[in-house]
Amino acid sequence: MTRSMRKKHVLCIIDMQSPKNAWPGLVDNIIREVVAAKKKRAHIIVVEYNSPETTTEIIKAIGRAHYSKVVKRDIDGSRLVLETLKKEQIDPKEVLVVGQSTRCCVLATLKGLRKALTPEKVTVVPDATFPEAWKEEFVDEPTLRQKVKAHESVAVC
């Protein structure tokens, strides 16, 4: 007997291996998104580049919640995220993307996810990525989640 696809919210944490390179508040804002995701019972996917471990504070925030971890060898993690969703039998309601390298890995993963899923399902959280992410061409206003909404919401995804 096969399980049917489950509708779930998804939080993707992209390349948060090194907190020393993060701008002040980035790790705290990602932890805020993790806490909100857990409240909503969202599926969390941690995407790492070439296998260094994700920042300890973020992993501690995830705690005992079920999550997936994938290690990518190139800048675009979207294929691995999509494979994980398929393996976990998740049909995402919404995918929130947070992370550090917005001009490289976050951008490539976001574009790949938007191409594979409907673009309106995939959203970058502006204060949980480097600030330049909000100004990039790939972040269009309808899918840019505002800071106020992020703080009002009990759920991240």
Does pTM surpass 0.85?
no
What's the rounded Cα separation, in Å, for the pair 148 and 115?
27
Give domain status of residue 1, yes or no. no
Query: pLDDT 10s digit of each residue in the chain, 157 long?
Result: 456 788 899 999 998 877 666 677 888 999 999 999 999 999 999 999 886 788 889 999 999 998 999 999 888 999 999 999 999 999 999 999 998 866 688 888 989 999 999 888 999 888 888 755 445 444 444 344 443 343 333 333 3
Domain count, the chain: 1
Residue 153: alpha-carbon gap to chain centroid: 16
Give domain status of residue 73, yes or no. yes
Give domain status of residue 141, yes or no. yes
Residue 155 is predicted with a pLDDT of: 36
CATH of the domain at 10: 3.40.50.850
Q: Strand, helix or coil at 91? A: strand
β-partners of residue 46 are 13, 69
Longest CA span, the chain: 49
Give domain status of residue 131, yes or no. yes
Give domain status of residue 120, yes or no. yes
Domain of 17 in residue numbering reads as: 6-152
Residue 15 is predicted with a pLDDT of: 86
Residue 153 is predicted with a pLDDT of: 37
Residue 31 is predicted with a pLDDT of: 95
Residue 20 is predicted with a pLDDT of: 62
Give domain status of residue 157, yes or no. no
